[in-house]
Amino acid sequence: MIRHPHDDAELLALVRRYVTPERRYLKLGGSVLRMQSPECDRFMRDLCADAGLITAGEIATLLEGGWRERRTAAWLVAVSRRTEFRERLGELLLASEVCCVGLGYSVALASFGTARDADLLAAYLDRYLRRPDLAYDQPVVMGALQFIDLNIEGGQADRFREPGGLWQQWLQGAPHIQDDSDPTPSFLSLIRRLCAFVDECAEAL
């Protein structure tokens, strides 16, 4: 069950502390790449500070909330390198209960960058590439999986991308993909740039 801040005092307090200041939850994603100094410097400084302050229990509570709470929590997990949340993020990605969070989960797992993180991303693709009617986070998850593969030479993405495989089938069936064009290169680039941002934050902690 998803917890809602309007009827949950504990969650509401965490939202006010970590999620909504300066509309942080809206900026956690591609928007951070378009920020200029001094806004970007201030945003990064505040994000790093909160990533260092938030407790594991508070992160767990945020991950029970809606998309704003979960997106913020995923980024705080990534910046603080809290790999103990790896399995939880994988579970939430696979469940896809709420929209607008897949990029956050994918960035966190890609920033951890281990074979286990690749397994969790691949589990999502195994399920949702068979459902072109559910067009959620397949491209960004594929970008994250390729990012890990390139770093650890894992090759997990290859089995999806072989001719006639699940990735090609999904591209042909997904209603929002035009002319069977493959969006993976742009999402791989996005993941690479966001992970670089996470790394910069983590080093500043």
Q: What is the pLDDT of residues 172-193, one digit of tens each?
A: 888 777 666 788 899 999 999 9
Q: What is the DSSP letter of 130?
A: T
> How distant, in Å, are the alpha carbons of 63, 130, 163, 179 from that of 74?
8, 26, 34, 33
The two most distant CA atoms of the chain are separated, in Å, by: 52
Going by C-alpha positions, the residue among 46, 51, 64, 48 that lies closest to residue 10 is: 64
Q: How many CB atoms lie within 10 A of CB 95?
A: 10
Q: How far is 80 from 53, CA to CA, in rounded Å? A: 9
Going by C-alpha positions, the residue among 17, 35, 20 that lies closest to residue 201 is: 35
- Model pTM above 0.85: yes
Q: How far is 70 from 75, CA to CA, in rounded Å? A: 9
Q: How far is 200 from 45, CA to CA, in rounded Å? A: 11
Please tell me the predicted confidence (pLDDT) of residue 119.
98
Confidence class for position 134, pLDDT limits 50, 70, 90: confident
Please tell me the predicted confidence (pLDDT) of residue 71.
98
Confidence class for position 7, pLDDT limits 50, 70, 90: confident
**Mean pLDDT over the full length of the chain:** 94
Please tell me the predicted confidence (pLDDT) of residue 165.
94
Block residue for tokens 């670089």: 196
Please tell me the predicted confidence (pLDDT) of residue 180.
60
Confidence class for position 109, pLDDT limits 50, 70, 90: very high
Q: How far is 147 from 130, CA to CA, in rounded Å? A: 22
